[in-house]
């Protein structure tokens, strides 16, 4: 706002009269009016009024007047009450102006406060009654008066506020006064120097430094206040205290509390809660509540700035009574001192809160301060826990960087170790946490510094609770060490370090495990309970064994420990061989009853097992020591591990040629054999358990296993030299060698991915057979391998795109299926039937003639499909000859029971004939085969060999082919010349059939079946005739035997059909083939004989001959054959019934039955 002089200069006129003054007041130009009043020297009251109006204009809309305005207007105001209120208003509003420079704002506040306090001093005399009550110190009546008169109340509140601001000003000066003064002096000095410097260098064109911070660094002793004086005076004192607490300005906070304690004490817990938890309790110890002698909380000691209270401070008064009531209700509980229990609860909560943030040392320091200085009880157990937790957090060794030796589940949790987490852990987990970062170099020290103190505190705590346990410390430590051996991987380096710190050669004070028995039990449990079996583990076991006690006086311990079972050994700790390996903790529990003598025997057993385990490890077949306990009485387990030892030496252990771990010389193989044989030596004496690893196996068993591994390593030459030595007897029997070599060969064979005989497993399977004498079984195995290789060389596929594997051939139930695939995949394979038949023989069918016939059928089918009819004819002839050979041999070798053949071998000939006749039939009916005569022969072969129900299928083809032959011109002329209708083809076919029939008649009942089924179709009958009743042949009793009747009918039928002179086998001869009368030759090759009831056509008759017989047979012959079969079945059934009756009669009479 413009001053009066500036207004005058602007208008060019100067008011001089009262009228002008009134005009200025009426137009609200109070600034000009005030200047005119001062010039006219009017009454002070009127001038004061004008100054008040000017002041109000300056503070309109929340504006803050300047220091010059205050210095100009305050002296003119004579209304002290109004001036005090105005000064109070300025003090409260000046802090809200952020643009005001710091120093002018402070001077403004100080000036306003000074004038306000001066004006408020006379408030007590504004009312006569006020002065009287103040002089009389009647504070009750004064309070009543103040509450009744609002103007007095307002004046009292202003006075009280100004007094409080005055006290705050003194506090502010105590805290920051010296620093602020130094800062102001430094700023003034810097400004003066800066001005002189600028004047000196202003004429020079020198580029200024962009960063003048280096030249204007404040002194390190200068502290800039974090809060301005106007804000410190105006804002609530609690907000100031909370700000100082949160910003860790604890010295300033303590000064505020010291001078304004009564106002802040009800909010003490709020203020303490604002102090950061990481602050050391010693830095704010004076602010912490404490207990007095009466076990009640002591209030803060206050040091007020004024020794005597002002009259406005003798009663409580606030600007808003409603707000005052709310604040009083909120702070009612905090205003009361706490009891000992209440204060202990507060500290417990605060300590736990600090500890929950991971500030364990701060929490522990707070506990120690409370217990030592503040007389707070119920913190002893909390202090113990924090002390132990602080050791875990701060005293535990650092984790090594190169590798982690910890197996704890608490890894990488140092930052999250809290009191709550600590309380959730059980003692074993705490012990594990203490040692989780230890190394073999410091684990013994860590146990002494960290674990043992914790265990002692734990024992003391249990003793206080009435549950004393003297073995708790040793038990928890041993449980931890047992866990080291059970971990994956085992932490044996730590275990060895602890055992070395407990060996008997040390003094009792230095030993971590002081009892020799406990040390021995711990070592046995860890070694036998460890699952690892590496070479490094065995080294650690050896170091453990070196630290174990000797138990020289163990012989007297059995008397000292009568509860120990003398029969109890390490082997008795394992329930069965099928159970899982015992854990270290389980073993230790079972070892507790062991006295010194048993422990000494167990250590001797451990020595034996360690030596054998080293041998196993040398051949890369390391075994966990628990295996010796499990397999002690298990033959199967020992045999399995012996096999693993031999095979591991051949694969991973170095026996296989060309691999990294290959044995350098054959002597190493011999050493392995000697070691394996050595493991079978040694027997138990009086149950001492000193039997070796393979004690249940014989030397022969171990040698079998060894040679199996040797051959598996493809060391065939060495195996042959060892199995067939020239200077000494063989280590195994020939049968065992043969079985061993064949088993090894088959193992190679089954694992071979291809059938190539020149490499890989197939080559080893073939070569290893040379390690044994070449017996029949060995040669057969070699043949099978060769056949497999030959089959695989033809690229036979088991599935599309997948070559057949050798194991598929061995496991196949029908290996001839692969021969069929071979013929189907190779078009020219049929050209070499000898090669194919040799292949079938080597596949295991060298004595299986049925397989040979089937193979010939495959070859014939393949050649027929290829159109090579000559090869098909050749194979079919061989096949028919083979079938007749099978039938002849069966007829000669089969046993006869009452004139009938046994039914065991009969299907073999029938099945072979099935393959043969089908291929002959296919050849005979093939239209592309131009040799009609040979086709007719093939059809004749088919007619001879096919079953009765298939003749109807063959006959039409025969008839059609015969018709074609008869229609040929050459044959017609030949028939006219020779009088033969059928010609050469029929003649050849008939000769073939006769030859076949003659051979078939040599087999008794087989001859009957052949005659009744096939040869009847070559007769000249024009009408089939049912069998007639045979002549009655009388026996010695004058009756005809039914079986003889059947034979009579059959013989009569054969003679009538074939025109044979006689067929009369002796019924009493057990070999009917030797008594058969051969048939006489026919007059004409195909001229049928005459039979009863019909007339056969002659050879030259147009409607007689072979074709007429076939026609008649087509009409009625099949039914006749079926009838004949039914008649034979009926007779056989009758024979069975007679035999059963005869057996019963023989049992009754006691004599033999009369033979039929």
User: Which tens digit of pLDDT belongs to each residue from 139-150?
Assistant: 778 777 777 878
Identify whether 705 is part of a domain: yes
As a whole number of angstroms, the distance between CA 303 and CA 339 comes to 25
Q: Where do runs of H (alpha helix) occur along 841-982?
A: 849-866, 869-893, 906-924, 932-945, 951-967, 969-978
Whether residues 257 and 358 share a domain: the answer is yes
Identify whether 334 is part of a domain: yes
User: Token pair for residue 424?
Assistant: 């959730």
pTM for this entry: 0.61
Identify whether 189 is part of a domain: no
More confident residue, 123 or 1032: 123
| Residue-level pLDDT at 530 | 92
pLDDT tens-digit series, residues 629-668? 888 888 999 999 999 998 887 665 544 444 545 566 788 8
Q: Are 859 and 875 in contact (CB under 8 A)?
A: yes
Q: Which residue among 1075, 1102, 1129 closes a domain?
A: 1102
pLDDT tens-digit series, residues 502-541? 999 999 899 999 999 999 999 999 999 998 889 899 999 9
Whether residues 235 and 362 share a domain: the answer is yes
Whether residues 939 and 791 share a domain: the answer is no
Whether residues 765 and 829 share a domain: the answer is no
Q: Which residue among 1102, 1122, 1150 closes a domain?
A: 1102
pLDDT tens-digit series, residues 704-713? 999 988 888 8
Identify whether 662 is part of a domain: yes
User: H helices then E strands: how many in the chain?
Assistant: 52, 6
Identify whether 517 is part of a domain: no
Q: Are 170 and 304 in contact (CB under 8 A)?
A: no
| Residue-level pLDDT at 727 | 77
More confident residue, 1103 or 119: 119
| Nearest alpha-carbon partner for 938 in 870, 1006, 887, 890 | 870
Whether residues 755 and 836 share a domain: the answer is no
Of the candidate ranges 44-48, 544-548, 980-984, the one whose mean pLDDT is the lowest = 980-984
Neighbour-count burial of 710, counting CB atoms closer than 10 A to its CB (0-12 exposed, 13-18 middle, 19+ buried): buried
| Residue-level pLDDT at 1018 | 38
| Residue-level pLDDT at 558 | 47
Whether residues 951 and 887 share a domain: the answer is yes
Whether residues 37 and 174 share a domain: the answer is yes
Identify whether 562 is part of a domain: no
Whether residues 740 and 669 share a domain: the answer is no
Identify whether 1065 is part of a domain: yes
Identify whether 1066 is part of a domain: yes
Q: State the average pLDDT over residues 59-87.
A: 84
Whether residues 1077 and 950 share a domain: the answer is no
Radius of gyration of the CA atoms of the chain, in A: 63
- Looking up residue 922, the CATH number of its domain turns out to be 1.25.40
Q: Which residue among 365, 388, 411 closes a domain?
A: 388
Q: State the average pLDDT over residues 749-759.
A: 91
Domain count, the chain: 6
Whether residues 297 and 308 share a domain: the answer is yes
Q: Is pLDDT at 453 greater than 90 in this prediction?
A: yes
Residue-number span of the structural domain to which 798 is assigned: 733-811
| Residue-level pLDDT at 994 | 47
Whether residues 254 and 380 share a domain: the answer is yes
Q: Are 1052 and 1026 in contact (CB under 8 A)?
A: no
Whether residues 669 and 774 share a domain: the answer is no
The sign of the CA dihedral 1008, 1013, 1015, 1020 is positive
Q: State the average pLDDT over residues 470-485.
A: 91
């Amino acid at each position: 706002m413009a001053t009066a002089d500036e207004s005058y200069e602007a208008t060019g006129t100067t008011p001089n009269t009262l009228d002008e003054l009134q005009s200025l007041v009426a137009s609200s130009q109070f600034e000009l009016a005030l200047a005119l009043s001062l010039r006219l020297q009017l009454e002070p009251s009127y001038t004061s009024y004008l100054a008040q109006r000017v002041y109000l204009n300056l503070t309109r809309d929340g504006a803050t007047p300047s220091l010059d305005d205050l210095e100009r207007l305050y002296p003119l105001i004579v209304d002290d009450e109004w001036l005090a209120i105005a000064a109070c208003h300025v003090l409260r509003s000046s802090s809200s102006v952020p643009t005001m420079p710091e120093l002018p704002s402070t001077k403004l506040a100080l000036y306003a406060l000074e004038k306000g306090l001066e004006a408020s001093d006379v408030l007590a005399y504004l009312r006569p009654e006020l002065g009287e009550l103040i002089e009389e110190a009647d504070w009750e009546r004064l309070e009543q008066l103040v509450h009744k008169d609002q103007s007095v109340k307002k004046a009292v509140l202003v006075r009280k506020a100004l007094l409080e601001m005055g006290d705050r000003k003194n506090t502010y000066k105590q805290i920051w006064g010296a620093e602020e003064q130094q800062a102001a002096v430094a700023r003034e000095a810097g400004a003066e120097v800066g001005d002189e410097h600028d004047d000196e260098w202003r004429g020079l064109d020198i580029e200024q430094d962009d960063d003048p911070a280096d030249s204007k660094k404040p002194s390190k002793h200068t502290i800039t206040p974090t809060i301005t004086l106007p804000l410190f005076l105006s804002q609530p004192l609690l907000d100031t205290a909370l700000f100082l607490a949160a910003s860790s300005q604890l010295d300033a906070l303590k000064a505020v509390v010291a001078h304004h304690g009564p106002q802040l004490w009800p909010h003490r817990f709020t203020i303490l809660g604002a102090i950061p938890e990481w602050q050391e309790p010693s830095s704010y110890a004076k602010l912490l509540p404490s207990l007095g002698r009466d076990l009640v909380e002591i209030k803060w000691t206050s040091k007020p700035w004024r020794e005597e209270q002002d009259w406005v401070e003798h009663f409580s008064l606030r600007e808003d009574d409603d707000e005052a009531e709310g604040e009083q209700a909120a702070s009612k509980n905090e205003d009361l001192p706490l009891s000992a229990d209440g204060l202990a609860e507060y500290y417990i909560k605060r300590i736990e809160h600090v500890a929950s943030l991971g500030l364990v040392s701060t929490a522990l320091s707070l506990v120690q301060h409370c217990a030592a200085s503040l007389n707070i009880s119920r913190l002893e157990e909390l202090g113990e826990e924090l002390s132990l937790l602080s050791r875990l957090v701060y005293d535990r060794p650092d984790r090594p960087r190169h590798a982690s030796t910890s197996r704890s589940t608490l890894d990488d949790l140092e930052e999250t170790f809290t009191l709550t987490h600590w309380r959730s852990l059980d003692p074993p987990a705490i012990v594990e946490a203490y040692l989780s970062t230890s190394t073999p170099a410091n684990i013994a020290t860590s146990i002494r510094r960290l674990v043992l103190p914790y265990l002692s505190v734990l024992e003391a705590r249990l003793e206080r609770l009435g549950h004393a346990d003297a073995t708790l410390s040793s038990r928890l430590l041993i449980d931890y060490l047992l866990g080291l051996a059970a971990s994956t991987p085992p932490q044996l380096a730590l275990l060895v370090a602890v055992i070395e710190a407990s060996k008997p050669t040390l003094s009792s004070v230095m030993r971590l495990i002081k009892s020799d028995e406990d040390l021995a039990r711990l070592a046995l449990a860890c070694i036998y309970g460890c699952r690892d079996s590496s070479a490094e583990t065995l080294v650690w076991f050896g170091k453990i064994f070196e630290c174990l006690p000797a138990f020289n006086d163990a012989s007297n311990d059995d008397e000292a420990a009568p509860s120990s079972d003398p029969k109890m050994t390490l082997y008795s700790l394992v329930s069965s061989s099928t159970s899982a390996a015992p854990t270290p903790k389980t073993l230790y529990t079972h070892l507790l009853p062991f006295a010194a003598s048993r422990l000494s025997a167990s250590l001797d057993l451990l020595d034996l097992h360690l030596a054998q385990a080293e041998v196993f490890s040398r051949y890369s077949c390391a075994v966990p020591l628990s295996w010796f306990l499990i397999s002690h009485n298990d033959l199967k387990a020992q045999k399995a591990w012996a096999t693993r030892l031999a095979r591991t030496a051949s694969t991973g252990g170095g026996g296989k040629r060309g691999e990294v771990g290959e044995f350098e010389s054959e002597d190493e193989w011999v050493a392995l054999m000697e070691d394996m044989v050595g493991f079978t030596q040694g027997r138990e004496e009086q149950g001492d358990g000193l039997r070796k690893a393979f004690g249940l196996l014989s030397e022969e068993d171990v040698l079998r296993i060894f040679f199996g591994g040797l051959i598996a390593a493809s060391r065939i030459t060495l195996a042959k030299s060892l199995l067939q030595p020239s200077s000494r007897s063989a280590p195994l029997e020939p049968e065992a060698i043969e079985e061993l070599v064949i088993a090894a060969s088959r193992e190679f064979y089954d694992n071979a991915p291809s059938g190539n005989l020149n490499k890989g497993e197939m080559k080893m399977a073939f070569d290893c057979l040379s390690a044994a004498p070449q017996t029949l079984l060995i040669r057969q195995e070699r043949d099978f391998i060769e056949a497999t290789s030959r089959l695989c060389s033809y690229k036979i596929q088991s599935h599309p795109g997948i070559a057949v594997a050798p194991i598929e051939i061995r496991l196949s139930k029908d290996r001839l299926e692969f021969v069929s695939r071979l013929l189907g995949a190779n078009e020219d394979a049929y050209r070499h039937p000898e090669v194919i038949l040799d292949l079938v023989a080597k596949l295991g069918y060298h004595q299986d003639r049925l397989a040979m016939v089937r193979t010939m059928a495959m070859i014939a089918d393949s050649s027929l499909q290829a159109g090579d009819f000559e090869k098909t004819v050749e194979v079919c002839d061989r096949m028919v000859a083979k079938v007749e050979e099978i039938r002849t041999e069966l007829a000669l070798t089969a046993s006869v029971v009452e004139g009938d053949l046994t039914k065991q071998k009969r299907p073999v000939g029938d099945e072979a004939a099935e393959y043969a006749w089908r291929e002959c039939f296919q050849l005979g009916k093939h239209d592309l085969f131009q040799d009609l005569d040979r086709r007719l022969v093939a059809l004749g072969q088919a007619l001879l060999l096919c079953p009765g129900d298939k003749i109807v299928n063959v006959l039409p083809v025969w008839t059609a082919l015969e018709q074609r032959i008869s229609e040929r011109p050459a044959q017609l002329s030949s028939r006219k010349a020779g009088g033969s209708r059928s010609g050469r083809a029929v003649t050849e076919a008939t000769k073939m059939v006769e030859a076949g029939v003659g051979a078939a008649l040599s087999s008794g009942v087989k001859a009957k079946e052949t005659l009744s089924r096939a040869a009847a179709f070559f007769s000249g009958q024009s009408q089939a005739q049912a069998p007639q009743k045979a002549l009655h042949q009388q026996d010695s009793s004058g009756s005809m035997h039914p079986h003889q009747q059947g034979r009579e009918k059959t013989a009569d039928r054969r003679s009538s059909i074939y025109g044979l002179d006689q067929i009369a086998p002796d019924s009493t001869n057990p070999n009917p083939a030797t008594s058969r009368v051969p048939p006489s030759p026919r007059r004409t090759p195909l001229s049928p004989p005459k039979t009863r009831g019909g007339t056969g056509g002659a050879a030259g008759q147009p409607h007689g001959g072979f074709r007429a017989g076939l026609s008649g047979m087509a009409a009625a012959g099949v039914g006749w054959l079926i009838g004949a079969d039914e008649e034979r079945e009926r007779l056989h059934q009758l024979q069975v019934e007679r035999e059963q009756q005869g057996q019963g009669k023989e049992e009754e009479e006691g004599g033999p039955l009369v033979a039929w």
